[in-house]
Amino acid sequence: MIGGRNFGEVWARMKARLEGRVGPREAEGIVRAVREDVFQEKSETEMPSAEDLALLEEMLNRLLAGEPVQYVTGWAPFYGYMLEVTPDVLIPRPETEELVYEILHHPAFAKKRGGRVLDVGTGSGCIAVALARQRPDWEVHGIDLSEKALEVARRNADNLGTSVAFRQMDVRDEASWAALPHFDLIASNPPYIAPSEQARMDLHVRRHEPAMALFAPEEDPLLFYRVLRKLGESRLQAGGWLFAEINALRAEDTLSLFTDDAWTETEILDDLQGKPRIFIARKR
């Protein structure tokens, strides 16, 4: 049982137990996340209660078993905000923050007022909520197949005081698109990893994050980009834009889907690691 005369000792013992598994630097970051996201009102000199110690022991056991700290604490940072996360949603990543940044700073949107935006596969709502926070005059919508993910997204929108219209929808069902209005922008971080690529992924991602949000069909890893192309042709205004996070291994294949006359100004941007990560296209 983890223990100590005060929280300062508890944090030190927790860090020591984690170091053997993840190393000193990562252990320090994990303990900091637990302190700030769950016990932020506790000073180091305060004595932990029996309930505090029981919760910390449970959290430590989950961390030692390899569960991501974001799921253990229930929170993850994204674009300067704290979002609730559960195992029903992907943990927001810096690459997706870059997608939001590129949208907000693109010449078509940097000064645009009153736009209408759709976030496809919204998950935790990270893209939709960040855009709604940054552009409160925009009308932001988010769709997802998972109702449990949408419950998380709705709580995130409420917690951050944003207005986002969330809807449960299988975006592959073209008949359902008629229920959507037309948009100036469609944004998405769709499933883009083929199951055969799992060996490249961290074990804790494979074990704990929702497979439905990660993996495209092996036989058609570009499935969701084909869907986004057709959705854009149906639901984007003339001159509307599509921004999507992509698989760096299939950047050129993704680009090739948008070479017909329906699309123009196609572009692929590298992420901060120098990998092709963001696809942009404008509907004619």
CA angle at 204 for the pair 198 and 210, rounded to the nearest 5°: 70
Domain that holds residue 128: 86-283
Q: Are both 59 and 114 inside the same structural domain? A: no
Q: Are both 108 and 246 inside the same structural domain? A: yes
Q: Are both 187 and 104 inside the same structural domain? A: yes
pLDDT at 184: 98
Q: CB atoms < 10 A from the CB of 45, how many?
A: 9
In a domain, 143, yes or no: yes
Q: Are both 209 and 261 inside the same structural domain? A: yes
pTM over 0.85: yes
Give the C-alpha separation, 191 to 143, whole Å.
14
Measuring CA to CA, which residue among 175, 187, 99 is closest to residue 140? 187
Query: Which SS3 state, helix, strand or coil, does residue 8 take?
Result: helix
In a domain, 80, yes or no: no
In a domain, 2, yes or no: no
Cβ(7)–Cβ(44) under 8 Å?
Answer: yes
209 has a pLDDT exceeding 90: yes
pLDDT tens for 117-170 read 999 999 999 999 999 999 999 999 999 999 999 999 999 999 999 999 999 999
What's the rounded mean pLDDT across residues 33-41? 94
In a domain, 102, yes or no: yes
1 has a pLDDT exceeding 80: no
What's the rounded mean pLDDT across residues 176-189? 98
Give the C-alpha separation, 49 to 38, whole Å.
14
Cβ(39)–Cβ(52) under 8 Å?
Answer: yes
Q: Are both 38 and 103 inside the same structural domain? A: no
Q: Are both 120 and 91 inside the same structural domain? A: yes
Q: How far apart are the first and last CA of the chain?
A: 63
Strand segments, DSSP code E, in 195-261 are: 236-245
78: phi then psi, degrees, rounded to nearest 5: -155, 120
pLDDT at 75: 98
In a domain, 135, yes or no: yes
pLDDT at 206: 85
Instruction: Provide the mean pLDDT of the chain.
Output: 96
Domain total in the chain: 2
The strand pairing partners of 244, in sequence order, are: 188, 279
Q: Are both 60 and 149 inside the same structural domain? A: no
